[in-house]
Amino acid sequence: MDENLEIANIPSTYTRMIGRELGLNIRELPQLLQFTQLSTEQLLQDETLLTARQLVQILQNSVALSEHADFGLRLGKRLTPTTHGAMGFLVNSSPNLLMALKAFKEFIPTRISFARLSLEYTQDSVNIALHFDIQLSEQVHRILAETCAVILYECAEFIVGRAMDEAKIFFAHQEPHYSQGYADYLSGSYFFSSDEIKVDFPLSLCNIPNASANQDSYMLAMRQCESMLQQLKAAPQSYIYDIQKMMLSSSLHELNEEQIAAALFMSKRTLARKLAQDGTSFREIRDSILSRQASSYLLESDLSVDAIATLLNYHDSANFRRAFKRWFDLPPSEYRFQNKK
Which residues make Cβ contacts (< 8 Å) with residue 244, sequence separation at least 6?
228, 231, 232, 285, 289
Per-residue pLDDT tens listing for the chain (341 residues): 444 566 777 888 899 999 999 999 999 999 999 999 899 998 988 778 888 889 999 999 999 999 999 999 999 999 988 888 788 888 999 999 999 999 999 888 778 888 999 999 888 999 999 999 888 999 999 999 999 999 999 999 999 999 999 999 999 999 999 999 999 999 999 999 999 999 999 999 998 999 989 888 888 888 877 776 665 455 445 677 677 767 765 555 545 788 788 777 678 888 888 888 877 888 888 888 788 888 888 887 888 898 888 877 777 889 899 999 999 999 999 999 888 76
Q: Provide the whole-model pTM.
A: 0.69
